[in-house]
Structure 1
């Protein structure tokens, strides 16, 4: 089931309830694959994604 545009997604981030919208979390298939390859290769957060602070 896909969230509707603007619908809030709630999840637990380090035991902190967190809300985001689908628009702030989406990446393209190409970037997702690139990120997965980089993570498997390095074991680190992929540099092709921007990471916000908690």
Structure 2
């Protein structure tokens, strides 16, 4: 999921360079959403791991 977020940010930069500001804005928003979802899942996983007490 983090790779997808980075890919959308790169797509946004390329689209902005070529003048497609609508595509760039949309790509940034999708990348931002994916980044927040990734961070939320990572934090939830970390907390569950702490609570369960199991070693990885």
TM-score range, shorter chain: 0.3 to 0.5
Q: Comparing both structures, which one devotes a greater share of its residues to strand?
A: 1
Which has more helix, going by share of residues?
A: 2
- What TM-score do you get using the length of structure 2 for normalisation? 0.32
Between structure 1 and structure 2, the one with the greater Rg is 2
Greater relative contact order (Cα 8 A, min sep 6): structure 1 or 2? 2
